[in-house]
Each structure stands twice: as structure tokens, then as C-alpha cells.
Amino acid sequence: MDRETRVFAESHFRSLRGRLPSRVCPTPDRVDFIENPDSFSYADFFKGYLLPNLPCVFSSAFTEGWGSRKHWVTPSGKPDFDYLLQNYGDVVVPVANCGVQEYNSNPKEHMPLRDYISYWKEFIQGHYSSPRGCLYLKDWHLCRDSSAEGIFTLPVYFSSDWLNEYWDTLDVDDYRFIYMGPTGTWSPFHADIFRSFSWSVNICGRKKWFLFPPGQEEALRDCHGGLPYDVTAPAFLESRPHPGLNHCSPPLEVMQEAGEMVFVPSGWHHQVHNMQELCAVQREVGEWKDTMPDWHHHCQVIMRSCSGINFKEFYHFLKVIAERRLLLAKEIGPGEVEYGEGSGLGPQQTIFDISRIAEVLASVVVNPDFQKVDTSMLSPQPEDLLQQLEEVMASMEPL
């Protein structure tokens, strides 16, 4: 990030302060296709897509040097089963059954990759049918394994990735997934975890996306408030049990070709696990508020089980990223502040991240539900960390 882009971004967020967020974002007319890596900078992506929260598709030229594109695909453009078996055949992978609905997802089993590839071959030979159902290898964390080096190169556009940086720091998890499957496999309607943005590259084959901007999903809820499992199912489109369906704009449709990279902005639903937030938990158990001892604590427990995080863990997430940025800030000298783009986080990105963490943490500290959480064991205390961030921001104001 260069200084001009940081100043532009900070001005953008200042303009949003005090403004009520729009409940429904309009659907763009199209999804832009980015052709040439040489003429598309980080600043172009940041200003044109990340800040306005708009999807785009990057051409296969952006992933041309990836090891997975060189080794996982045959000259005819098919998956290279022999290579995959030789290198990963004994690795146990998660496999979902696309033909079975379990709430708004699919049940999973685990098997060695060689068994899944054997199924895949049989599925093709059976004219894309199998008595075992339509099985989809999904959420495989191959990149947690050091042997996965060289599979991909992180695009500079996604170099500031707080979620994966957090998990890499703890060395327990990541949000880098691999999906494999034959024609007919799919992922149910969902938004990505924690309303984060995501990006996805097709190594081979084609993939069709249905994208809904934030807020459009509200028109798809049924009379019980539930979201659809499959927005393309005839039963959903014809029975119309969703009162607001007529008010929902058609989704953006994207056909993703081999090598292309799709950017899915924050909060955009598409056809993949809907996150339950604290307000949703409180609505569900609100009738017991006056009779349930320590109701607010129980809401945090439920939120943790449903969405994978609660207020304490969210603070820990912010703290880890904040402390890493504060360390980087100490290394920034007067001659470095005009640093532009590169393979890592530059000074301007560090300064920008500190300002965003401070703003998010400030909103958490004053949140009435957070104030009901016991924070006595948190170190540093949220208010103290916020003060550190604000002091660093003040010292860097001229930069």
C-alpha cells in the first residue's frame, strides 16, 4: 500500500462514521474481469473492489506460475490423478455428500485421498452417478502441511489477511481450503465465516457462482427466518415460501474458468454456511432472559458453538493482529514511509491496519454486550490496548 491509497482509505472510512449502514446493497450490473496483472496494481484493487466491497474476476494470467496449475492438471486440462495419488494418496481428506441436506450444509466423512479418487473415477464411469451419492472433497487444509509449499503464491492483493495471520501465529488452524469434485458437486447457499472476504482459484474445470450482495439474503428468508439451502432448486423458486422473494434482485452469475480467481467481498452470500451472530442468539433465547441465571454468559457460549467465536475470542484475535502491527510500527523509520508495494506488508499498510484495528476495538469496548463480559483475565485490558494503538497513530499522524 502506498501513502495515497492509505489516505484515500482513511477518508473513505471517516465518511462512513455516524452513517447508518444500508440494509440492502444494490446488485451491480456485472462482475468486472481483470485481464492483465502488469496493469492492475494493489491500489487499483483496493480502491476499485476491496473498499467498495464489489466482486471481480482475475484472469488465469494472475495464477500462471502456480505449482498446482503446473502439476495437478494434465495437458488436456483434466485433474492429474496419477500425480495427486503419488504425492497425496495417503492423506486423509474431508468429503461431503452433496445429495444429503443436514440443516443448511452436508454431512461429512473422512477417507484417504486415494479412496476418494477411486470413487471419482467410478462416478465418471457410471455416467456421473453413484449409489454412494454425489461426494465432494471440501475444506481440505492441505496448506497447513509443509509439503504443500509451492502449490500457490499468495496474490499481493490479499497480503493483508488478518484471519490467516491470526491462525498462523497460533499455529493451530487456517482458512486455506482445497475443493475437488466431479461435475455435479456443489456448495449450499452461505456467506463466508465471520463475514470475511474470500478469494477462490479454479485449478481446472469450470465453476458457476451465484452471488448476492449484502442485505439481499434478507428477502430470501422463509417465514421462520431461515435462509434457503439451494437458491437454484425448482422447489424454492416455484413454491415461493419466502415472503420477500419478489423484492430480491437476481443474483450475479459468474462462470469461472480454469486458472481464474474470483474475489468474493465481505458479506456476499453465494452457493457455501451462514454465520449466527450474537443478536440472532439473543433473539432465539430472549424469552428466557428474565429467568435464566447469567443469561448474557449463556448467549456467549451459544454464539461460540454456532459461529466459532465469542467476544473474548474476538478480542484475542484483534489483540494478536494489533501486537504484530505495533511491532512492525516500531521498525518504521522516516525514510520508509513512502514505501509502495512489495511482497510483504509495507509501512503504509501497517499504519492503515493499526487505524482499522483501533476503530474496531473502540466499537467493541463500548458495546453493551461486551461490557457484560468478564474481562478481568484479559491481558492487556482492551482499554489499554486501544490506548497503545491510539498513541502510535498519533505519533504517525505526519506520515
Residue pLDDT, tens place only, 301-344: 655 555 556 888 889 999 999 999 999 998 876 555 544 444 46
Report the chain's terminal Cα–Cα distance, integer Å.
13
Rounded Cα gap, residues 340 and 224, in angstroms: 50
Burial code (b: 16+ CB inside 10 Å, e: under 16) for 104-123 equals ebbebeeeebbebbebbeeb
Q: What is the DSSP letter of 157?
A: G
Rounded Cα gap, residues 158 and 375, in angstroms: 32
Name the pTM for this structure: 0.83
Superfamily designation of domain 27-282: Cupin (2.60.120.650)
The grid coordinates listed for 4 are 495515497
What residues contact residue 348 under an 8 Å CB cut-off, 6+ apart?
1, 2, 3, 5, 6, 337, 339, 340
Q: Which helix (H) or strand (E) holds 16?
A: helix 3-16
- Planar angle of CA 373, 377, 381, nearest 5 degrees: 80
Residue pLDDT, tens place only, 91-124: 999 999 998 988 778 899 999 999 999 999 999 8
Rounded Cα gap, residues 297 and 277, in angstroms: 14
Domain boundaries, the chain: 27-282, 311-395
Residue pLDDT, tens place only, 50-74: 999 999 999 999 999 999 999 999 9
| Strand ranges across the sheet with 92-97 | 108-112, 92-97, 135-140, 178-180
